[in-house]
Amino acid sequence: MAINNFTGKIGNRNKVILFLFTFVCLFATLCRSHKDDSDSVVQNAYGQAFAVPAACQPCHGEICKSFAGTAHFRDSRPASGSAIRGSFAADSNRFIYNPSTAVRMERKGDSFYQTAYHSGKEYLSKPFDIVIGSGRKGQSYLYWDNKKLYQLPVSYFTPADCWCKSPGYTADSPVYNRRVPVYCVECHATNARTVVGKSREYGDFFDKRQLIYGIDCERCHGPGAAHIQFHTEHPGERAGVYILNAGRMSRQQKLDACALCHSGSRFPLKPAFSFRVGDTLNAFSEAKYTEANVATLDVHGNQYGLLTTSKCFNQSQMDCSSCHQVHTNEAGDLKGYSQRCMSCHNGSLHKACTMPPTPGLVLGNNCIDCHMPALPSQKIVLQLSNAADTGRDISNLVRTHHIAIYPAYVKAFLKNLKGGR
Ligand code: HEC
Ligand code: HEC
Ligand code: HEC
Ligand code: HEC
Ligand code: HEC
Ligand code: HEC
Ligand code: HEC
């Protein structure tokens, strides 16, 4: 009885304890699985969830279809045979440093490697893991070492269709030790998150699961999970909610949305990936140029800085969307771009071109080559294989956004016109 009494008495307390215990366990499990979920859900720095890839398709099919052909969309990807532009064929798969040292691009099954050889002996080999660059101008490649990212020694240069030394590496011998900072990924991907490394090692460590490749819809419009949930539940709603649209913002906000990546490398003031469309860029990072030296800017990667030096920009409300429709690949359509020039320079809104009439010249076909010529970048000078012997260094040509009158290019253009076409 005593025992019964005991169990009976404590029994009730036990029930309570058991109940509480079960509750705590259940709660802990819920919390854990919730935490696990939140780790696998990709979020931005503010805890807003990204949608799964291709989630915009059902409601914005047209835009998604045309956007898939753009350089932004293809700007970064996991490495694959179709993503890597350079050749793995036996006669063109080497980058030669000197007669005894070379890096060979090798394919082993579904994987790709950059393998260094000295006097014919292999001494280091690392995989192509990530491709940076759609291949318009070139590509660079990264490999993972646990949570760290490194740049491979050899890149690809499109105009010459060949392998070249990665910018920033020495030309003497292949090295594989250039850590990739988060700021590189900030300009070349939709999302990434850094984590604390185990050691006190310098440099950024990445959470691989939080990486979204490419410059996709949500890079410019913000994480879309809440937007999709709302519109799925309210199919009649006509106005888009829980989504950013620079098109509805002030001129400076519109410009900053592009200048984040198109105003050259900047001094960071806040962590990478904390800027959101609508924010003031100068509160997140500082330009490395001033009004005094903006005219000396390199054409590479600083379309914003250069545009601000143009009369077009300073005497109108123009922004990047005055000429670019980022949902469509319009590369090379100089006639289409010229139409946008003429929407302002039509003689009534703003002055038309004062170039004297020239036989064979149809101004409206191409305002671009005379007023926004492709100029050599001083910054990105790429060294081709065996350059020590041949001295072949080729610089990259980039469209200047300092819109002006360039007599030398006008002359070349007219000469070209006479010579053919
Ligand atoms: C379930 C349907 C649905 C899905 C999925 C969806 N949207 Fe929308 N979205 C809408 C509707 C409806 C509107 C309002 C009408 C319009 O502007 O087309 C809208 C509007 C927008 C706008 C304009 C907002 C404005 O203020 O002008 C943007 C930008 C946008 N969506 C981006 C996205 C992105 C990016 C994704 C994928 C991450 C996405 N949408 C997925 C339904 C959807
Ligand atoms: C997250 C960084 C980032 C943002 C934000 C961004 N861009 Fe880009 N943009 C790039 C990169 C990187 C490339 C080079 C892509 C490639 O070829 O791999 C590029 C390429 C381009 C090109 C060349 C495309 C071609 O096919 O010739 C244009 C034009 C352009 N961007 C305009 C814009 C405009 C306009 C905005 C703002 C609405 C913008 N970008 C926002 C990073 C960005
Ligand atoms: C490089 C930045 C960038 C990317 C990437 C981008 N957009 Fe946009 N989007 C813009 C800008 C800027 C506007 C405003 C255009 C304007 O006002 O001229 C816009 C406008 C929109 C609108 C409003 C309606 C319209 O057509 O103007 C929708 C919807 C939209 N985007 C959906 C998408 C979807 C879906 C994707 C991916 C497939 C995407 N965007 C990728 C910059 C971007
Ligand atoms: C401040 C933003 C920014 C940073 C940081 C940055 N890039 Fe870029 N990158 C761009 C833009 C914008 C373009 C395209 C526009 C241009 O060429 O003027 C570009 C072009 C490229 C291209 C040529 C792509 C093509 O096909 O045209 C490669 C390759 C590249 N970057 C690699 C890198 C690597 C690797 C890093 C980091 C180690 C890096 N970039 C850091 C903005 C950036
Ligand atoms: C949003 C309207 C707008 C657009 C679009 C525009 N411009 Fe302009 N542009 C202006 C204004 C305003 C001026 C200065 C006053 C004037 O000449 O009427 C100007 C000035 C110029 C000048 C004189 C520059 C100088 O330094 O003397 C040239 C050349 C020019 N634009 C060419 C172009 C070309 C080429 C395009 C297309 C790639 C273009 N513009 C697009 C508004 C525009
Ligand atoms: C007055 C028209 C105009 C404006 C405004 C303008 N662009 Fe462009 N942009 C062009 C033209 C034209 C090209 C050349 C396109 C081609 O050759 O395919 C170009 C090319 C580019 C390229 C590719 C450069 C290269 O050679 O690799 C990038 C990147 C770019 N623009 C970004 C921007 C950004 C960012 C803004 C806003 C800060 C902007 N553009 C504003 C007309 C303009
Ligand atoms: C063959 C080269 C060439 C082409 C093509 C060309 N321009 Fe010009 N443009 C010039 C030259 C040269 C001048 C300066 C002429 C002068 O001395 O008045 C000029 C002047 C201008 C001016 C400055 C007017 C002023 O005095 O402020 C504008 C604006 C302009 N062009 C716009 C355009 C537009 C828009 C297009 C395309 C429809 C275009 N240009 C096509 C060579 C060209």
Q: Using one digit for the tens of pLDDT, what is the confidence trace for 161-191?
A: 999 999 888 888 999 999 999 999 999 999 9
Q: Check whether 344 has a pLDDT greater than 70.
A: yes
Residue type, 105: M
Give backbone dihedrals phi and psi of 179, rounded to 5 degrees, phi first: -70, 145
> Which atom of ligand 7 is found nearest the CA of 352?
29
Please report, rounded to a whole number, the percentage of residues in the chain having pLDDT higher than 90: 75
Ligand 5 within 6 A of CB of 404: yes
**Ligand with smallest separation from the Cα of 77:** 2
Q: Check whether 265 has a pLDDT greater than 90.
A: no
231-265 b/e (C-beta count within 10 Å ≥ 16 → b): beeeeeeeeeeebbebeebeeebbbbbbbbbbbbe
* Mean pLDDT across 356-360: 91
pLDDT band at 290 (very low <50, low <70, confident <90, very high): confident
Ligand 2 within 6 A of CB of 215: yes
Q: Using one digit for the tens of pLDDT, what is the confidence trace for 110-143?
A: 999 999 999 999 999 999 999 999 999 999 999 9
Give backbone dihedrals phi and psi of 138, rounded to 5 degrees, phi first: 175, 180
Ligand 3 within 6 A of CB of 392: no
Ligand 1 within 6 A of CB of 60: yes
**Ligand with smallest separation from the Cα of 246:** 3
Q: Which residues line ligand 4 (CB under 6 A)?
A: 132-140, 151, 180, 183-184, 187-188, 261-262, 265, 300-301, 398
CA–CA distance, 48 with 222 (Å, rounded to integer):
9
Q: In this predicted structure, which of 3-7, 124-128, 254-258, 409-413 has the lowest mean pLDDT?
A: 3-7
Cβ within 8 Å of residue 27, ≥6 positions away: none
Q: Check whether 3 has a pLDDT greater than 80.
A: no
CA–CA distance, 58 with 73 (Å, rounded to integer):
18
Mutate to test the pocket of ligand 3, among 72, 212, 221, 320 (most ligand atoms within 8 A of CB): 221
Residue 71 DSSP one-character state:
T
Alpha carbon of 354 to ligand 7 centroid (Å): 5
3 state DSSP class of 302: coil
CA–CA distance, 382 with 392 (Å, rounded to integer):
9
